[in-house]
Amino acid sequence: MREIDLWVRAGFLYPMSDGLPILRDAEVAITGNRIVHAGAPMPEGTWRARREIGGPACAVLPGFVNAHTHTASLVFRGRTDDVAGGAALYDVAFRMEKTIGREEWRDLAWAGTVEMIRSGFTTVNDLWYAPDLLAEACAASGLRAQIANKVFDVALDRLGLDDYTHHPHIGEQRLREGVDFAVRWHGREDGRIQARLGPHASDTCSPELHRQLRAEADRLKLGLHIHTAQSRREVAEVRRAQGRGPLEYLRDLGVLAPDVVVAHLSFATDADLDAVASTGTNYAHTPTIYPRRGWYPRFAEITGRGIPTGFATDWMQNDPFEMMRNAINAMRLVAGDAGAMNCRDALWYATVGAARIMGLDAQIGSLEPGKKADLVLVDLDRPHLQPFYGDYAALVFYARADDIAASVIDGRVVMDNRRVVTVDEAEIHRALCRHTPSWRHRLIELGALPTPQ
């Protein structure tokens, strides 16, 4: 009999490891923060577990990996969804961000972290403001994270006026804050919290600032995380200033590399995609946000070039099942072919694929011995999941975020019976409610959609 710390029993197990199918009546055994067994049940008496969770009414799968997100962006929820894409970013979000103070970012970070865990995400790749406050929330809650400070040297709130004046002092401060954060936090919590450097976008950093970020990333042995070809305005500005597409431009600057995650590629040309592919750069695909903006990247051409790809939520709608369904439906509509993407592929991009582009696939993303114990339990005893037949479609097309009943990260149960046990959820919710009237007022002043009075 072998002593283990945690024994997870599954009615259905989705290992997502090569060659291993969905298994019925399976189990995962965990010692410390590592998986020692994931598969069919071992003979009775094999394990002596300090704790047991799960059971026949649970599906167990790897924790979802969110390869590009803004955990603390919840302030914009419902304020940009019925607004044209450009206006949502330039006229609402960029202008509102400037008004938010550190106390507000702290409370948003804690709330976003709880939401990620409750939704089934066990890892996030975040590029935003106040990275230290998010890191503190992740450290306390148990979430795994790669975090970057949002670096730029333009006045973001003036981009809606096409004012692309570069201000070196802004860039120097944001870069210094990003580097300082990385030095203090990279590798903390036994490696669960890592850092990246985060050039905001191809058009919001000057060429010199892009080069500085690349040089600092090389010095610190960190990756980069950046928005690229996200909007027509960005592409037009880079073409005006640099005479080529945004990814061509970043390649020629020496920014792109296998340690870089680029998000979006919504308006990337063939030459841009070739630049991504030739440099081994990774792509974070955010399928929920694109249909709201009225466009969709050329996903089949991106993956067809061999560009490493993983799924992500971007912001505000942090439901991994909604994310996968959006991707499947969009691909089938674009191709006019119901076979354009299947459910297993979608789940792979949301777990293994996302971990791979973050450089974490040797540690997480699938359930197999030796890997970190990051997994979630889906409650199958729900009316909208019955009858449950156990195939990928049964899970991907019909489950939703609030079906996540428990979450294990780094071998630790951080959510049990739909309650995040590591933080005070009620106090986090009360803090958001205290801020909401002020946020509503500021957003209306900035021209966001009016709310009921």
Whole-number percent of the chain with pLDDT over 90? 91
Alpha-carbon distance of 344 to 334, in angstroms, equals 19
- The amino acid occupying position 209 is L
Ordered structural domains, the chain, with CATH: 2-62+367-420 (2.30.40.10), 64-357 (3.20.20.140)
pLDDT number for residue 451:
57
Q: Is the pLDDT of residue 81 over 80?
A: no
DSSP state of 387: S
Sorting pLDDT into bands at 50, 70 and 90, what band is 453?
Answer: low
Task: State pTM to two decimals.
Answer: 0.97
Choice among 107-116, 311-320, 359-368 with the minimum mean pLDDT? 311-320
pLDDT number for residue 78:
82
- Model pLDDT for residues 402-443, shown as the tens digit of each residue: 999 999 999 999 999 999 999 999 999 999 999 999 999 998
Cα angle 81, 83, 89; round to 5? 90
Phi, psi of 310 (to 5 degrees): -140, 160
CA distances from 127 to 71, 103, 192, 400 (A): 9, 18, 17, 25
CA atoms within 13 A on the CB side of 224: 29
Cα angle 328, 329, 333; round to 5? 120
Sorting pLDDT into bands at 50, 70 and 90, what band is 321?
Answer: very high
The closest alpha carbon to 145, from 221, 87, 65, 41, belongs to 65
3-state secondary structure of 274: helix
Whole-number percent of the chain with pLDDT over 70? 98
Q: What number is the average pLDDT over the span 10-26?
A: 95
CA distances from 150 to 60, 124, 156, 227, 298 (A): 35, 15, 11, 10, 26
- Model pLDDT for residues 357-370, shown as the tens digit of each residue: 999 999 999 999 99
Residues 6+ apart with CB under 8 A from 196: 125, 127, 146, 147, 148, 182, 217, 222, 223, 224, 225, 261
Look at the alpha carbons of 417, 423, 427, 433 in this order and tell me if their dihedral is positive or negative. negative
